[in-house]
Structures are given as C-alpha cells and as structure tokens.
C-alpha cells in the first residue's frame, strides 16, 4: 500500500517558511511585490490568478493584479511588461498563460526581465537550469523536487522516468532530476513500449494530460509515483494522469489529485518571489 505524499501539507509548510522570510525582510523595510498579468476572461485562468493572489496575501507578498481586456494587442502587452521590467518596486512578473491567439505567448515570456521571471519559463532561466547556474526553477518541477525531498524519497542513483516533454513540466523536470543524480529517461507520445519504459522507474513522474492513463501495469512494485496531471474524468471530476485507486496498492508512494503536485506550484511561486530579491541583490539592503 502506498504512502500518500501530502502536497497540501508540504505546500503549507513552504508557504509558512516563505511568510517567515517575508516578515524578516519587512523588518528591514524590504517589500516583495509580484505583478500578475491576466489577459481576457478565461475562467480557469481567473481561478489560477485568484489562487496566486490569495497565496500572496497569506505570505505577505504584495500582489499587483493587472487585468487586461481579451482584445489587448501584443504590442500593448509587451509595453506593459517593459514598464514592469523597469519598475524597481516590482520583483516578480507573471503573465498568466494561455494568452489570446493574437498574442505570441513565447515572445511575451522572452520579454520578461530574467531576474523577475518567477515562473522560470524564460529561455535564460531554462538555460541556467540546464547548465547548473543559479536562476529561477519553474514552479511545478521545483515543487516536485520539494515533495520528494520532504517525503524522504531518495533520488540519487535511482531510475526516474518522466512521461511528457513540455517546456513547463517535462523538460525542466528532467534537468532537475539530473541535478538530483537520478538516471533520467524522458518518454513522450513517440516512445515505443511505454509500459516497458515506465515499469523500470523507481520514480515515475507523469505529465501527459490524459485522465487515469497510467494503470498498475505501468508501475514498478514500490515505485514513487508523482502525478502532475490535472485532468477531468468521465464525470467531469478533477483527476490525474494516474489511475490512483488501481495503482495505490502497488506503488510505494503516490501523490493524490487533487492535493498532490497542484498546491506545490503556487507555493513554489511564492518561494520564487522571495528568491527574486536574492537574484536582484536586494535582500542584503
């Protein structure tokens, strides 16, 4: 029977640690400010932004929410990003994705000053991560590393299989697991015999966006199973990429959905906002 990895409790701990650091900084008259830009009225994005705002309030981070109409042009959005880049009172900038189709999201991400890129999506952050330089780690993969560390799951020398190779989850995850000295395999939709590949994993990380895809046949006995998926089952209920009840008996440890990886992403965003001050050389004032 698997040990349940409690992302809710671990993320709460990270937020409490962040809140403590923010209070210490505030004692030195240093504020931490996150600017969040939302373009349009996508309901899921509105929920994500609201959650980030709440987390900021809890941690004592000032949040500046900028809500732009759906018909905002790329030029207008880029001008706003540049304005925030130049504003010394803003430590972190986040553009909620996806942006409407008239805007090139990648171009906007590239426009964010890398020292304020708290989502860790810019090519500079990703490049720094790849070659082991300091920089922002993207929030979901960084959150998974914290889940593993804080649950006492050994990574050194272990077989880790990541399924999914997106720029925001799979690829940065692979870089972080390499840093952890795991032996890393990245699988994707062209992988031949996926079951054979995932069955080798001591640590299986799934990020494909397919509800309950991974049944026990994909999982090695005793493996740690980390499920990034935020999917909907046949009844419209939130679930992961892993068939939780099927895999539960076989896995050694498992993250539930909800309550596993999900809450870690926002907690790590808060962590990155404080990290931003260090990167900007402001925390020593």
- Site residues (CB under 6 A) for ligand NAP? 140, 163-166, 168-170, 187-191, 194, 207-210, 228-231, 261-262, 265
Nearer to ligand NAP (CB atom), residue 4 or residue 78: 4
Least distance between ligand NAP and beta carbon 227 (Å): 9
User: At a CB cut-off of 8 Å and minimum separation 6, what does 212 contact?
Assistant: 231, 233, 239, 240, 241, 242, 243, 244, 246
The residue annotated as part of the active site, out of 6, 15, 96, 171, is 96
Nearer to ligand NAP (CB atom), residue 147 or residue 187: 187
Least distance between ligand NAP and beta carbon 164 (Å): 4
Least distance between ligand NAP and beta carbon 38 (Å): 17
Tell me whether residue 52 is one of the annotated catalytic residues: yes
Least distance between ligand NAP and beta carbon 256 (Å): 12
Determine phi and psi for 57, rounding to 5 degrees: -60, -45
Nearer to ligand NAP (CB atom), residue 154 or residue 259: 259
Tell me whether residue 16 is one of the annotated catalytic residues: no
Least distance between ligand NAP and beta carbon 5 (Å): 13
**Beta-sheet pairing, 183-187 with 159-163:** parallel
Nearer to ligand NAP (CB atom), residue 90 or residue 118: 118
| Residue 35 per-residue DSSP state | E
Tell me whether residue 96 is one of the annotated catalytic residues: yes
Cα gap 183→165, rounded to integer Å = 16
The residue annotated as part of the active site, out of 52, 116, 220, 250, is 52
**Tokens (6 digits) for 111:** 């426009």
Nearer to ligand NAP (CB atom), residue 76 or residue 246: 246
CA distances to 21, 82, 143 from 135, rounded to whole Å, are 19, 20, 15
Cα gap 135→113, rounded to integer Å = 12
Between helix 139-150 and helix 170-179 the angle, nearest 10°, is 40
Cα gap 267→180, rounded to integer Å = 21
The residue annotated as part of the active site, out of 6, 116, 117, 119, is 119
Which positions are catalytic? 52, 96, 119
């Amino acid at each position: 029977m698997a040990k349940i990895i409690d992302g809710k409790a671990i993320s709460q701990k990270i937020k409490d640690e962040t809140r403590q650091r923010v209070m210490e900084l505030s004692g030195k008259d240093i504020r931490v400010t996150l600017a969040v830009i939302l373009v349009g009225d996508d309901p899921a994005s509105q929920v994500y932004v609201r959650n980030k705002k709440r987390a900021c309030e809890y941690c004592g981070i000032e949040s500046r929410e900028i809500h732009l109409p759906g018909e905002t042009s790329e030029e207008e959005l880029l001008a706003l990003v540049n304005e925030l880049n130049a504003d010394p009172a803003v430590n972190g900038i986040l553009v909620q994705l996806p942006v409407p189709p008239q805007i090139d999201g990648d171009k906007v991400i590239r426009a964010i000053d890398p020292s304020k890129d708290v989502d860790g999506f810019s090519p500079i952050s990703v490049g720094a991560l790849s070659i082991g330089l300091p920089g922002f780690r993207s929030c979901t993969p960084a959150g998974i590393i914290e889940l593993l560390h804080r649950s006492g799951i050994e990574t050194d020398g272990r077989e880790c299989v990541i399924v999914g190779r997106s720029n925001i989850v799979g690829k940065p995850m692979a870089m972080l697991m390499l840093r952890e000295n795991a032996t890393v395999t990245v699988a994707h939709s062209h992988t031949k015999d996926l079951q054979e590949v995932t069955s080798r994993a001591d640590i299986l990380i799934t990020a494909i966006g397919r509800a309950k895809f991974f049944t026990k046949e994909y999982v090695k006995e005793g493996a740690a199973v980390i499920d990034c998926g935020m999917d909907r089952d046949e009844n419209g209920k939130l679930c992961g990429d892993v068939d939780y009840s099927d895999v539960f008996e076989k896995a050694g440890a498992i993250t539930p959905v909800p309550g596993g990886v999900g809450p870690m992403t926002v907690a790590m965003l808060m962590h990155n906002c404080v990290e931003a001050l260090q990167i900007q050389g402001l925390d020593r004032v």
